[in-house]
Structure 1
Amino acid sequence: MSATDREHTHRTSTRSTPGTGGEAVYFFGGIGSLIFWWQAASGFGEHVVAVLKSFVWPAFLVYQALGALAG
């Protein structure tokens, strides 16, 4: 195997550093958000909106946090 082949093999076989658990926190936060919004909904349309809200829950979280900090 030539040096170029070894270089190519090394570049293609290295893996990125595994996550530190942030993905799991985000996942469970999304599930919790879906459950929260789902329980607050009463009709079909509101359940659809609940699913959409659960996708953007970090925006709600940051908005509320900044509102609390502001006063």
Structure 2
Amino acid sequence: MAKTQMHESGPSGAIYGLGLIGAAVYFISHATGFWMGVLGFLKALVWPAFLVYEAMKSLGM
């Protein structure tokens, strides 16, 4: 019988989830209308991409 390995990512998923909630609250609270709130929620889904982009830009990469 072959052994299978399972890699769990519970802690990182929890951090991403908290970041998602925080980003959604931030972006939606700064929205000026309904569709800007929808856009804010979509931005909250991809906030790590914004973070990495700004980090790489500040490092000159």
Normalising by the residue count of structure 2, what TM-score does the alignment of the two structures yield? 0.79
After superposing on structure 2, the runs of 4+ consecutive aligned residues of structure 1 that deviate more than 6 Å are: none
Gaps of 5+ in 2: none
**Alignment RMSD:** 2.0
C-alpha displacement of 1:19: 3.0
Partner of 2:13: 23
Larger radius of gyration, structure 1 or 2? Answer: 1
Tell me if 1:67 matches 2:57.
Answer: yes
Gaps of 5+ in 1: 1-6
CA distance in 1, matches of 2:49, 2:9: 22
Equivalent runs, 1:1-71 vs 2, <5 Å: 7=1, 16-19=6-9, 21-70=11-60
C-alpha displacement of 1:54: 0.7
Normalising by the residue count of structure 1, what TM-score does the alignment of the two structures yield? 0.69
